[in-house]
Amino acid sequence: MTAALARYFSGRGQRVAVFKIGPDFIDAMLLEAASGLPVYQLDLWMVGEAGCRTLLYKAAKQADMILLEGVMGLFDGNPSSADLAKRFGLPLLLVIDASSMAQSFAAVATGLANFDPQLRIAGVVANRIGSDNHLQMVREKLPQTLPFYGGIKRDAAFVWPSRHLGLYQAAEIADLPQRLDSAAAAMAATLAALPLPEVTFDQGVEEPLPPLLAGVTIAIARDAAFSFLYRANLELLVALGATLCDFSPLADSELPACDALYFPGGYPELHLAALAANTSLHQAIREHHRAAKPIVAECGGMLYLLQSLTAKEERAALVGLLPAAATMQKGVAGLGMHSVTLPLPQPQTFRGHTFHHSSLTQAPQPLTLSTPQRQGGKPEAVYTLGSLIASYLHLYFPSNPEATAALFRGAFFHH
């Protein structure tokens, strides 16, 4: 729905800035494809209220329209999409899956609209409608005080394919432009009728950053296997003075000239044979490590640096820097927001999140453990070996810019 909105209005000459609430990487890729503009994550805990305000204010200065896609249900999580909407006075369009209900739609919609009287509810849309008769039943008992902006019929032409970590990445959906156009066209009547209330954002305070990474070149693993990157992370590295370059563990036999390596998360389990076969790059990474140059690895990036990874009974020998193996499993092994304090050499705290379907075996003693934001959450280990620091955690670098600079200068193993 959010992607269709972005496609519809950008196709009519509007400059549409889109945000994804929560830490999701893949939704942001699809929203970028729909809007043609960069998409950033918003989260009151991970990004912080000040960070969210700055991002929204900058977007408001440059765009004609701002769209925010929520995370899970409106009130799910702490903080939730509702909390963020309330904090910034944002109007909400309720999108409800009506595929397995009729008149009960009105009860769900009314409950959402009235659960927190401080929210600005602009109206409601029914998703996955089966027929005109179904649409009529869905709207029958809606109160007149809750504007109804129609229903979107089920259509395979604009369903995104999905797998274990969520949707397919934008680059993997060959007919994505056609799907976006189909969704926007199917929703045109609904979208044209939507209210577009104005919102005013206070100016965020943006402190100038010292050039702590001036002269440092960071090579980033980026290809179909490694693509879970926060745009805000990359922009922060540049703002700190770093030079960024990309390389592909799938295709490149050697590393670019660099001072540090960054292996983000992704889907190494889908490309095991190709990653395992590229042994010349494995050797180059091990030489980088022997030269005591920093390596920062997150989630899928960490899996690539292990001795082996097993998925669907296929075991592949990988880079072998970290003396451990991992196995993919059917269920979620880790999920949620975390903070972690690292010795850099002074204790410095990052915020971030974790979401993975694999677990490590025979792992080394960790440097430290993260603190889950949610009570009862499972801590994540952070491993170091010489100039390598690795974890399942996806760190949000703007949560601590100075510590980020220390991370890529290898301060954790120089103290």
In this predicted structure, the answer to whether residue 393 has a pLDDT above a threshold of 50 is yes
Q: Please provide residue 344's backbone torsions phi and psi, each rounded to the nearest 5 degrees.
A: -130, 45
The whole-angstrom separation of Cα 302 and Cα 264 is 8
pLDDT at site 196: 86
Phi, psi at 209, each rounded to 5°: -95, 140
How would residue 330 be classed by pLDDT, with cut points 50, 70 and 90?
Answer: confident
Centre a 10 Å sphere on the Cβ of residue 23 and count the other Cβ atoms it contains.
Answer: 24
User: Tokens 């076969």, residue?
Assistant: 277
Mean pLDDT of the chain: 94
Nearest to 288 by CA among 323, 254, 238: 254
Active site (annotated) includes residue 299:
yes
Q: pLDDT at residue 415 above 70?
A: no
Residue 22: pLDDT over 90: yes
Q: What percent of the chain has pLDDT over 70?
A: 99
User: Kindly report the CA angle at 362 between 358 and 363, in degrees rounded to 5?
Assistant: 75
User: Does residue 402 contact residue 348 with C-beta atoms inside 8 Å?
Assistant: yes
pLDDT confidence of 362, banded at 50, 70, 90? Answer: confident
How far is residue 184's CA from residue 166's CA, in Å, rounded to a whole number?
Answer: 22
Domains in the chain with CATH codes:
2-193 (3.40.50.300), 217-413 (3.40.50.880)
pLDDT digit string, tens, across residues 256-311: 999 999 999 999 999 999 999 999 999 999 999 999 999 999 999 999 999 999 99
Res 414: pLDDT: 59
pLDDT for residue 327 is more than 90: yes
Residue 263 pLDDT: 98
Neighbour count for residue 186 (Cβ, 10 Å): 16
The DSSP 8-state label assigned to residue 190 in this structure reads H
pLDDT at 181: 94
Over residues 159-189, the pLDDT tens digits come to: 888 887 688 999 999 999 999 999 999 888 8
Q: Per the structure block, which two tokens stand in for 311? A: 């998925």
pLDDT reading at 247 higher than 50? yes
The structure tokens listed for 352 are: 């971030």
Find the mean pLDDT for residues 318-327. Answer: 96
| 92: enclosing H helix or E strand | strand 91-97
Burial of residue 26 (CB within 10 Å: 0-12, 13-18, 19+) is buried
**From 52, 245, 258, 299, active-site residue:** 299
* 77-132 pLDDT tens trace: 999 999 999 999 999 999 999 999 999 999 999 999 999 999 999 999 999 999 99
Sheet containing 306-311: order of strands? 314-317, 306-311, 322-328, 358-361
Residue 179 near residue 157, CB atoms below 8 Å? yes
